[in-house]
Structure 1
Amino acid sequence: MPTKNLIQVFEYEKLRFTDTNDFTESHFKTLVKFNETHDNKYFKPIYNGIQFNSYVGIIQIGGITIEILPKADRNTDSTQKEKDTWQGVLLNMLRICKKIQIDTVSETQLKKRYHSILDAYFEMYLDEIEQLIKRGFIKKYRKRQSNKLALKGKMVFSKNLQKNIVHKERFYCEHSEYDKNHLIHQILLEGLNVLESLKTSFLSDRINRLKFQFDAIEKKTITNTHFKKIVINRKSKPYERALNIAKMLILNYSPNISYGQDNMLTLLFDMNVLWEEYIFRILHKNKPENTTVSFQNKKDFWKSSNRTKTIRPDIVITENNTHTTYVIDTKWKIRDNNNPDDNDLKQMFVYNLHWQSEKSLLLFPKTYQTDSNYGKYQHLSHNMTENKCKLGFISVLENDRMKNEKLLSQEIFKKLD
C-alpha cells in the first residue's frame, strides 16, 4: 500500500502551504517554476499557494501526490466520498479517451488498492516489465564501434588514424552485435530510473529487483526522438504497453526543476479538451445504424494573401440515409441558466452555415438545469428549411457513480430531435 502523502483537490480550488503540513513552501516554489516553463497555463499563483484552473490530473512532487479532480455539481462538500466519486469520473474519462492504459483496473479495484490513479499506473508498469522478464528479453542487432586487436566487421579509417597512429596492432572497426542492449530495453530502464527518483518507497523493493535484470543494459538519456525510432513488429509487440507507460513517465518527468530538490512527474489534461473527446468517443462507439460521428472537422473560414483562418466544430453527426447533419459543441463549465451566450450563438450560427446543419447543440455538464428549447436563427442559406440552436445538459453521474456510456450516448442523441 502506498505510504506517500496524497492531496486531493477539485478544479479551481486553492492549495496553500500554510493550510497543510504535506504541501510545503518548497513544493510551492517548484510548482511555480514548473508552471512558468509552461506559459503559466496549469494554475495561478496566489498568496502562499496556488489556485488550479481547468487542468485536472496528477502532480507527483518531492514525495507527495496532488490529484486534481474534475467537478460538475453545486455540492460544495469536499468529503472523501465526493472525491472518490469524481476520481472515478476522471479515471473513466481517461480510460475511454485512451489517455492512460488502465483497462484492467476497475474503479472499485482502484479504491481498494491505491491512493491515486498514478499509483495504479506505476504498478502496471512494473507488472508489464515482470511479464517481459518471464517471457525473456528479446535480442536485436545493433551497430557498435570499438578498438580491437583483430579486425571485426569493417574498418572505420578516420577513427583508426585518430586512435591507432601509434598502436599499429589495433583496428578501429564497426561491427554488429546481437544482444539485449538495445533502445527498447534502454527506454524501459529509464522508466524504472524515473520511478526510483520519485521516492515511490512502496515500490522500491520491486524496482530494485527489476533493475537487477537490466544490469547489462546501457543507461541512456531518453527523449521523444527515441520513441519515434521504435517500430512495433511481431517480435516487439509484447513490449507495446510497457513502452506506452514508459513514454508517459519519461516525457512528463521534470528532474530537479527548482533548487535541485524536488523531482516532478505530471500528468495533466485540460478538462475542456478531455470532455470534448470523451463525448465524441462514446457517441462514436454507440452511434445508431447508418450514422457517422466525426471529430474536429475543419473548414476554411477566412483567407487573405498570406493567411488562412479555419473553423473547427467539436463533433459533427450525419444521418447517412437522409443526409441530415447536426453539430455539437461541448463546454465543460457550470452554467447558471439555460440561456445561450451571444458568442456561443454566433459560433454555432457559423457552424450551421458551413456544415449545412439545421440543428446544433451546445452541450454542458448538468447540475440542476434543463435543456433550452430550440431557438431559430433569422437567416437561412444552402437551401436550409431550418436554422436552430439550443443548450443541452447531461449528467455524467448516476447514484454517485459514472453513468453508463451507452445510456449517456442515447440521451445525447435524443437531444438532437
Structure 2
Amino acid sequence: MISTSKHITVFEHQAIKLNQEIDGVLFDETRLKALQSYYGENGVPYYSLIHNGVRFNEYVGVIQVGETIIEVLPKADNSLKGSNEKKRWRDILIDMLFAVGIFDIHSPSNSSLKLKSNSILDLYFELFIKEVEYLLHNGLVKQYRKKEGNVTALKGNILFGKHIQQNITHQERFYSRYSTYDVEHNLHSILFKTIKLLKQINTNVELHSRIGALLLHFPEMPEIKVSESTFEKLVFNRKTQSYKKAIDISKLLLLKYHPDVSKGRNNVLALMFDMNKLWEQFVFISIRRHKEKQITITAQTSKYFWKPESGYRSKIRPDIVVNKDKADCVVLDTKWKNLNGYNPSPDDLRQMYVYHEYYNAKRVALIYPGTNTSKSSGIYLDPITSKEIDKECSVISLSVEPKIREWQKNIYETFNNWLTFGNDNVQKNKNASL
C-alpha cells in the first residue's frame, strides 16, 4: 500500500526508475518529468538521466520536487541494511557538514536542534528559523536610507519640480528627499523573502508554527528580485555581522529554488554537496584540529606546471600539503570511494607521482573511506629499467565512525602514525609494484 508520505531516501550512485516504489512512495511520471525539466539541455551535476529514470552522482543532500523530498545520502560501506543504514549515513552526513562549518550557527549548542533525524532540507530550514529568531530576540538592526515624498515638516532637500506639481494647492506640504533611519533595508528584505519561501515549500509540520510566528513578528518588507549580484553587493559591518549566517542560508535557498512557471506545482529546490569536496574538507579539518604546533597544513595549494606559447598557464592543485617547502613535506589527496581491495586507478597514481616531483615531497598518500582503517604502500618504477626508485605512494583507508569527534581523532592518529613511523608494510612491498 502506497504511503501518504512523500519522502524518498536513496544513496549516491543509486538509480530510480519510473513507477518504482521507494520508502512507500511511488516515483511516478509527474516526478520524473519534473526532474527531467530541471535537468534541462545543459544538465545538472547532481544526477544523470537514464531510460525512464534518473541515476544520482557523487552529490549528496536533498532535492525537493513539489511536495516530494528526495534525500541522497553518502555511502562508503555495506555494514548495515534498511532504515538503520539510512539513519546512520544521514547522521554521518549532518555531522560532517557541522564539522566543516556549513552549519555554523549562533545557538550555544547544536544539540538544541530538534530535527537532526530528519532530512538535510528540514535542518537547513530550522537553522534559518533559529538564526532569524536570534536576530529578532536581539533587535533588528536599523540603517539609513534615502526616501522621498510629501511631508508636513520640512526636512532634507525640496524637489522643486515635484513639489510644485503635487503641492500647488497644498502649501502645508513639502515634497522632499530625506534620510530615514529604520529597519527597511536589503538585509531584511532578503530575510523576509526567504521566510515567505519557507512558508510556501515547507512540508514539515513541526516547523509550520515557527514559520508562521516569524511572518507575524518580522516587519513586512517590499518585494525584491534577488540574483548573485544582490548578495555580492552586501557589505557586513560590526552591527550586521550577526546576519551573515542567515543571509548565507537565504542565498542558498533563494538561488537554488526553481519555480515551475508552467503549472506551479512541481517547483524544484536542490541543496546538494559534492561528496568528494566534503570528504577533502573533513579530512583537512580533522588533521588541522589535532595536529601539533610545529606542523603546518594547507589545502588546495597550487603550482604552475605547464606554460603554453600563448594563453594561461596550467596548475596542479593537491588537496592537502603538510609542511610545505620543508624537507619533510608530504602531499595527501582524498578520494571519496571505497577501493574494496583493488589498487588505486592509474590516473590517481600518476597524479601522485607528479606531486612527488613538483612539491619535492618526501612522501605522498591517497586517502579513502573504508570499512576498516588500514595502510599500504607501493613503489614507483623507473620508466627505463623498471627498477624500484625512491618514490612511494601510500594508500590510507579510514573506517567510518558513527561518533564524529572520535572519527576525527582517529583520522589524525592514523595520519600521524603514518607520518611519524612510516608504513609497516613498505618493506614487504618492496618487491611488488602498483
Aligned to 2:427: none
Aligned to 1:105: 110
CA contact (8 A) 2:328 2:361 kept: yes
**Does the C-alpha gap of structure 1 residues 258 and 357 become closer, same or farther in structure 2, counting only changes over 3 Å?**
farther
Aligned to 2:216: 212
Structure 1 residue identity aligned to 2:135: L
Measured after TM superposition, the shift of residue 312 of structure 1 is 0.6
Measured after TM superposition, the shift of residue 386 of structure 1 is 3.4
**Does the C-alpha gap of structure 1 residues 246 and 213 become closer, same or farther in structure 2, counting only changes over 3 Å?**
same
Measured after TM superposition, the shift of residue 53 of structure 1 is 1.0
Say if 2:146 is the partner of 1:123: no
CA distance in 2, matches of 1:40, 1:120: 23
CA contact (8 A) 1:317 1:325 kept: yes
Say if 2:8 is the partner of 1:7: yes
Structure 2 residue identity aligned to 1:318: N
Aligned to 1:177: 180
Say if 2:335 is the partner of 1:331: yes
Q: Encode CA deviations 1:96-131: one digit per residue, 9 max, x unaligned.
A: 2222336733499545xx422221221232233223
Q: Encode CA deviations 1:28-66: one digit per residue, 9 max, x unaligned.
A: 222222223663321112233211110101112211221
Aligned to 2:320: 315
CA distance in 1, matches of 2:150, 2:292: 67
**Between Structure 1 and Structure 2, how many residues are aligned?**
401
Say if 2:255 is the partner of 1:245: no
Measured after TM superposition, the shift of residue 156 of structure 1 is 4.9
Structure 1 residue identity aligned to 2:15: K
Q: Decide which moves more: 189-198 or 400-409.
A: 400-409
**Does the C-alpha gap of structure 1 residues 135 and 235 become closer, same or farther in structure 2, counting only changes over 3 Å?**
same
Q: Decide which moves more: 131-140 or 353-362.
A: 131-140
Say if 2:62 is the partner of 1:89: no
- Match of 2:390, SS state, is coil
Aligned to 1:293: 297
CA contact (8 A) 2:15 2:55 kept: yes
Aligned to 1:225: 229
Q: Encode CA deviations 1:261-296: one digit per residue, 9 max, x unaligned.
A: 222222101111111111111112221231111101
Match for residue 200 of structure 1 among 200, 203, 219: 203
- Match of 1:118, SS state, is helix
**Does the C-alpha gap of structure 1 residues 371 and 215 become closer, same or farther in structure 2, counting only changes over 3 Å?**
closer
**Does the C-alpha gap of structure 1 residues 109 and 165 become closer, same or farther in structure 2, counting only changes over 3 Å?**
closer
Aligned to 1:361: 365
CA distance in 2, matches of 1:303, 1:156: 60
- Match of 2:366, SS state, is strand
Q: Return 5+ residue gaps in structure 2 as ranges.
A: 384-388, 423-434
Q: Return 5+ residue gaps in structure 1 as ranges.
A: 380-384
CA contact (8 A) 2:192 2:220 kept: no
CA contact (8 A) 1:319 1:325 kept: yes
Structure 1 residue identity aligned to 2:69: T
**Does the C-alpha gap of structure 1 residues 19 and 136 become closer, same or farther in structure 2, counting only changes over 3 Å?**
same
Q: Decide which moves more: 334-343 or 304-313.
A: 334-343
CA distance in 1, matches of 2:242, 2:78: 45
- Match of 2:336, SS state, is coil
Structure 1 residue identity aligned to 2:360: Q
- Match of 2:296, SS state, is strand
CA contact (8 A) 1:365 1:396 kept: yes
Aligned to 1:410: 413
CA contact (8 A) 1:140 1:180 kept: yes
Aligned to 1:263: 267
CA distance in 2, matches of 1:220, 1:92: 35
Say if 2:136 is the partner of 1:139: no
Measured after TM superposition, the shift of residue 350 of structure 1 is 0.9
What is the percent sequence identity of the aligned residues? 35
Say if 2:60 is the partner of 1:59: no
CA distance in 1, matches of 2:190, 2:83: 37
